[in-house]
């Protein structure tokens, strides 16, 4: 098992990484919001096949949107956790 002295951290680099992770999460959310109108399908006709294709495609879009929202949330949480732990490790380094 590693001792406390075996762990060190570079706060500046951690800050850069967490900023990049947060920016990635924001880009994911922005792209999904911006492209939502382009990803929503309207049936090209009244026939059953057109209706079913549009419905299925929109269900896939909804599922993908939910997954991308969860991903953005998790990325934000990872960045916050990393910032929190880096602060604690830095305090240990200074002790």
At residue 7, φ and ψ (nearest 5 deg) are: -110, 130
Q: Determine the Cα–Cα distance for residues 2 and 7; give it in Å rounded to an integer.
A: 8
Whether 10 maps to a domain, the answer reads: no
Whether 76 maps to a domain, the answer reads: yes
Q: Are 82 and 17 in contact (CB under 8 A)?
A: yes
Whether 29 maps to a domain, the answer reads: no
- Stated pTM of the model: 0.74
From first to last of the 95 residues of the chain, give the pLDDT tens digit.
455 556 667 778 888 999 999 999 999 999 999 999 999 999 999 999 999 999 999 999 999 999 999 999 999 999 999 988 887 666 665 65
pLDDT of residue 5: 58
pLDDT of residue 91: 64
Instruction: Count the domains in the chain.
Output: 1
**Cα radius of gyration rounded to whole Å, the chain:** 22
pLDDT of residue 86: 80
Domain of residue 62, residue span: 53-94
């Amino acid at each position: 098992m590693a001792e406390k002295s075996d762990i060190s951290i570079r706060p500046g680099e951690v800050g850069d990484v967490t900023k990049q992770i947060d920016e990635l999460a924001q880009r994911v959310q922005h792209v999904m919001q911006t492209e939502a109108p382009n990803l929503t399908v309207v049936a090209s006709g009244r026939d059953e096949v057109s209706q079913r294709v549009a419905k299925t495609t929109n269900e896939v879009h909804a599922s993908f949107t939910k997954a991308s929202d969860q991903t953005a949330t998790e990325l934000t949480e990872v960045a916050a956790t990393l910032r929190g732990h880096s602060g604690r490790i830095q305090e240990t380094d200074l002790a």
